[in-house]
């Protein structure tokens, strides 16, 4: 650093006011281009010296500061990329996963185990996704941070830039290369939101069922006098849906064992078959009160009805139910006639309370079900993955990794990422365009400085300590609250519509909604939209994830601005060391940008919880159908749609409202001391950093405090700035202040 000092005495003298010929450029507002050229040259010289120096006080810029954080982010993204590539290649090339049409089956069997495997896989995906998105957010904020030369160029045109917060404004004033990297990282995040969570999904296997009403003596030996009815019913319901051939026809292909077993049960010949289980009415209504039967199939209802029929005296009625909406509606035939709407859970509650289970069997008679015989079957649920989605995810992952590595390698010029970085820069090299307006806050910059008003002494009119929300611009507050309220209102409307839809077929009290659970597929809670392929359903199911991520970024920006104002206010209360990304002796290093971990961790937890609730509120519903004898049905009969869970929506909506209220409550907190509300405005920060000390290095290497320092020579007014001296007091209401010029 000694060589650097020898090169700069003349410029330093000019900038620090030692040169007698220096007039300050008219109070600092509209300073000459010559001084600006010198300042840019000085900044470039400092940058070159910093890059050459390998001392402990100032390491190479690409190895310190935010570059280290971005390098860590890039490393995590590369690790995620390798994991994605490795697992995708393994799953796509392993023959046991049966890759067909770009869809692989990771597991097929028990539905409970399938759900557990899917849960753990999605937890892993969300963990990897969190690494990608958090790394992207960190890198984007660093890329959008301005350099000192970019700030100086903006100030010359009476424009200001954001410091310490995520910024869209800065993208129009920083180097094109960094803007393109920022855009590429942001664009590749969109497919991740839309696709990553659906790369692995669960597929249910639902069984169609035959419900047979029989008399109480059906399974007793010698109960038959004629079996014509049973034979004709079996032939009708067991026909091959592809060829149209019936059971017993020449060329009929089927699972003979399953059909033969059902035929024997239908004739009462094999009542003790292992696959059939005796159930009480309450158990029966509970197991079969479902839209999709996963491990149950055909059912015999044993009634108290008897009659004398010369052709059939034990077989009453057979019903065929398809695996679609209201599969359990047959339970609602508990009075004469068949109601147009069915709430099968009400029947279940009635039977569980001890009331008789009365059923209209369709012959003009109401009978009571005394017991049941239920067929148990093995589950056929699947955990599947999409090779196409994983390829898209890997491509986005690769672009992110390349952009982050380029951000580390190519962005050599130091940027002002934190408030401490900005204060350090403006104290070392004062900004001539903001001299004479030490009292400036963000409002003054926007209302007067940007319009070319001249600097002059002004009274301090701020009385009392301001609240956190004053550090956030109205535009940012309005944007965040507007989009959050729109999302809450739309979600509430959709929730009401979903409850009305569900109420047609089932109870919608809190207990019933809770019983149906989070993210569970049923035949009622589905969107009434036709999907040509599974990709359309996936995009719609994950659309809330993208919207939620946008809302979280705007919500996060509120806290970033408020915490930046909170950090700034501490400099008005006490002497503090500057928190910078590349610390010099006497300064503090930082591992976070603007939000401390005490706030960042709860915010990340909130984001993760909302994303999980969103995934359980709206999700892909894929159901493969099997006929009553275990034969897979044609693909056109399978169900691919988007399901929803009202109880998950309620929890997500409640959490979202609480989060919005929490932001308002945090905004109501008071700053640590009375201070100028500079927010994230570079011009206001610059105006507060015109120190009176002769050597700026002596200031930034010590703890500093911002406030009223002393009377400015020749102006007979006081000055507000940073100082390492003890005689610093808070601004006085009604006192006149001006800058050093």
Write out pLDDT tens, residues 724-737.
Answer: 888 888 888 888 88
User: pLDDT by residue (tens digit) across 373-424?
Assistant: 999 988 888 998 889 899 999 999 999 999 999 988 887 778 888 888 999 9
Residue 401 located in a structural domain: no
Sign of CA dihedral 462, 465, 468, 471: positive
Number of domains in the chain: 2
Q: Where are the beta strands (DSSP E) in 138-254?
A: 200-207, 209-214
pLDDT score at 510:
79
Residue closest to 686 by CA, chosen among 413, 433, 417: 433
My answer on whether 511 and 615 are in the same domain is yes
Start-to-end Cα distance in the chain: 29
Residues 479 and 372 in one domain: no
Q: What is the mean pLDDT of the chain?
A: 78
Domain range spanning residue 509?
A: 468-566+583-620+627-670
Is there a single domain that holds both residue 353 and residue 494? no
Whole-number pLDDT of residue 85: 95
Give Cβ neighbours of residue 7 (< 8 Å, ≥ 6 apart): 45
Report pLDDT for 152: 93
Q: What is the mean pLDDT of residues 233-261?
A: 63
Q: Other CB atoms closer than 10 Å to residue 590's CB: what's the count? A: 21
Same domain, 512 and 632: yes
Please check whether residue 1 lies inside any domain of the structure: no
- Both 521 and 615 in one domain: the answer is yes
Q: What is the pLDDT of residue 359?
A: 76
Sign of the CA dihedral running 105, 106, 111, 114: negative
pLDDT tens-digit map of 605-624: 888 888 888 888 888 888 88
Is 336 inside any structural domain?
yes
pTM tops 0.85: no
Of residues 519 and 569, which shows the higher confidence score? 569
**In a domain? residue 7:** no
User: Are 519 and 666 part of one and the same domain?
Assistant: yes
Last residue of a domain, one of 351, 382, 413: 382
Give the Å distances, CA to CA, from 468 to 165, 477, 676, 710.
15, 12, 12, 28
Structure confidence at residue 148 (pLDDT): 92
Whether residue 373 sits in one domain with residue 476: no
Q: Is residue 370 a part of any domain in this protein?
A: yes
Mean pLDDT computed over 512-528:
76
Are both 472 and 344 inside the same structural domain?
Answer: no
Q: Are 390 and 81 in contact (CB under 8 A)?
A: no
Residues 521, 666 within the same domain: yes
- The phi, psi pair for 84, rounded to 5°, reads -60, -45
Report the pLDDT averaged over residues 569-598.
Answer: 82
Choose the final residue of a domain: 361, 382, 403.
382
For 250-258, what is the mean pLDDT? 60
Mind listing the pLDDT tens digit for each residue in 708-726? Answer: 887 666 667 788 888 888 8
Q: Please, which pLDDT band fits residue 274 given cuts at 50, 70 and 90?
A: confident
Residue 332: inside a domain, yes or no? yes
Is 553 contained in some domain?
Answer: yes
Q: What is the pLDDT of residue 605?
A: 84
Instruction: Quick: pLDDT tens for 157-188.
Output: 999 999 988 888 899 999 999 999 999 999 99
Q: Tell me what the mean pLDDT of segment 128-153 comes to.
A: 88
More confident: 235 or 433 = 433
Q: Name which residue leads in pLDDT, 197 or 233.
A: 197
Given pLDDT bands bounded at 50, 70 and 90, which one contains residue 314? low
Answer whether residue 126 shows pLDDT above 70: yes
- pLDDT confidence of residue 39: 42
- Would residue 476 count as lying in a domain? yes
* For residues 110-139, average pLDDT: 84
Residues 370 and 476 reside in one and the same domain: no
Residue 256's pLDDT is: 66
The mean per-residue pLDDT over the stretch 508-525 comes to: 75
Tens digits of residue pLDDT in 340-359: 345 666 778 888 888 888 87
One domain, residues 478 and 375: no
At 462-515, the pLDDT tens digits run: 878 888 988 888 888 899 999 999 999 999 999 988 888 877 766 677 777 777
Range from 53-67, 247-261, 611-625, 688-702 carrying the lowest mean pLDDT: 53-67
Which of 382, 415, 450 lies at the terminal end of a domain, its last residue?
A: 382
CA dist 587 and 703 (Å) reads 8
Residue 509 shares a structural domain with residue 651: yes
Residue 148, CA distances (Å) to 261, 414, 507, 522, 608 in order:
83, 8, 64, 59, 36
* Structure confidence at residue 225 (pLDDT): 47
Residue 334 three-state SS: coil
Mean pLDDT of the 584-593 span: 76
Please check whether residue 356 is in contact with residue 88, taking contact to mean a CB–CB distance below 8 angstroms: no
Note whether 712 and 738 are within 8 A (CB): yes
Q: Which residues of 141-160 are buried (b: 16+ CB within 10 A; e: fewer)?
A: bbbbbbbbbbbbbbbbeebb
């Amino acid at each position: 650093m000694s060589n650097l000092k020898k090169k700069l005495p003349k410029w330093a003298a000019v900038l620090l006011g030692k040169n007698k010929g220096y007039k300050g450029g008219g109070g600092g507002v509209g300073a000459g281009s010559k001084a600006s050229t010198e300042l840019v040259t000085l900044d470039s010289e400092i940058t070159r010296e910093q890059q050459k120096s390998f001392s402990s006080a100032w390491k190479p810029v690409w190895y310190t500061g935010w570059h280290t954080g971005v390098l860590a982010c890039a490393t995590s993204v590369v690790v995620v990329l390798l994991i994605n590539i490795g697992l995708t290649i393994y799953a796509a090339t392993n023959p046991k996963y049966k890759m067909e049409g770009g869809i692989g089956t990771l597991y097929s069997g028990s539905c409970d185990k399938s759900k557990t495997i899917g849960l753990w896989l999605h937890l892993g995906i969300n963990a990897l996704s969190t690494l990608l998105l958090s790394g992207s957010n960190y890198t984007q904020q660093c890329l959008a941070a301005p350099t000192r030369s970019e700030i100086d160029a903006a100030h010359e045109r009476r424009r200001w830039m954001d410091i310490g917060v995520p910024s869209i404004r800065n993208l129009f004033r920083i180097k094109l290369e960094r803007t393109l990297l920022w855009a590429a990282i942001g664009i590749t995040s969109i497919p991740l939101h839309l696709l990553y969570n659906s790369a692995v999904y669960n597929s249910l296997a639902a069984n169609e069922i035959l419900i047979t009403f029989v008399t109480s003596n059906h399974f007793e030996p010698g109960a038959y006098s004629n079996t014509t009815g049973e034979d004709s019913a079996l032939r009708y319901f067991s026909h091959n849906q592809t060829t149209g051939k019936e059971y017993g026809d020449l060329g009929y292909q089927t699972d003979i064992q399953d059909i033969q077993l059902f035929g024997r049960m239908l004739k009462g010949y094999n009542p003790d078959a292992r696959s059939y289980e005796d159930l009480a009415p309450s158990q029966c209504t509970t197991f079969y009160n479902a839209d999709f039967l996963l491990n149950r199939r055909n059912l015999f209802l044993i009634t108290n009805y008897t009659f004398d029929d010369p052709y059939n005296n034990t077989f009453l009625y057979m019903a065929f139910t398809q695996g679609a909406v209201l599969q359990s509606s047959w339970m609602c035939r508990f009075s004469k006639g068949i109601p147009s709407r069915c709430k099968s859970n009400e029947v279940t509650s009635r039977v569980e309370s001890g009331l008789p289970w009365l059923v209209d069997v369709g012959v003009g008679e109401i009978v009571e079900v005394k017991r049941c015989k239920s067929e148990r079957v093995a589950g056929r649920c699947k955990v599947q993955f999409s090779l196409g989605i994983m390829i898209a995810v890997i491509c986005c992952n690769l672009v992110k990794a390349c952009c982050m590595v380029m951000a580390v390698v190519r962005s050599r010029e130091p940027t002002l990422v934190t408030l401490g970085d900005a204060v350090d820069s403006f104290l070392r090299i004062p900004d001539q365009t903001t001299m004479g307006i030490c009292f400036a806050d963000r409002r003054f910059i926007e209302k007067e400085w940007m319009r070319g008003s001249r600097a002059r002494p002004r009274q301090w009119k701020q009385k009392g300590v301001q609240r956190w929300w004053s550090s956030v611009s109205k535009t940012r507050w309005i944007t965040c609250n507007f989009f959050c309220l729109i999302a809450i209102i739309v979600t509430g409307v959709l929730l009401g519509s979903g409850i009305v839809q569900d109420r047609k077929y089932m109870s919608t009290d809190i207990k019933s909604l809770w019983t149906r659970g989070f993210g569970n597929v049923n035949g009622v809670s589905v969107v009434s939209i036709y999907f040509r392929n599974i990709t359309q359903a996936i995009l719609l199911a994950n659309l809330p994830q993208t919207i939620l991520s946008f809302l979280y970024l705007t919500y996060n920006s509120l806290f970033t601005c408020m915490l930046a104002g909170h950090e700034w206010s501490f400099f008005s209360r006490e002497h503090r060391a500057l928190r910078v990304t590349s610390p010099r002796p006497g300064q503090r290093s930082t591992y976070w940008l603007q939000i401390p971990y005490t706030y960042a961790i709860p915010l990340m937890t909130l984001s993760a919880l909302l994303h999980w609730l969103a995934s359980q509120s709206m999700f892909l519903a894929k159901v493969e159908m099997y006929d009553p004898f275990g034969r897979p049905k044609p693909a056109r009969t399978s169900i691919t749609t988007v399901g929803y869970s009202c109880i998950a929506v309620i929890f997500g909506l409640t959490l979202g409202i609480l989060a919005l209220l929490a932001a308002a409550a945090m905004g109501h907190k008071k700053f640590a001391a009375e201070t100028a509300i500079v927010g994230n405005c570079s011009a206001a920060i610059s105006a507060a950093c015109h120190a009176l000390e002769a050597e700026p290095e002596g200031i930034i290497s010590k703890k500093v405090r911002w406030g009223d320092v002393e009377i400015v020579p020749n102006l007979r007014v006081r000055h507000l700035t940073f100082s390492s001296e003890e005689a610093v007091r808070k601004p006085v209401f009604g006192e006149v202040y001006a800058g050093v010029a």
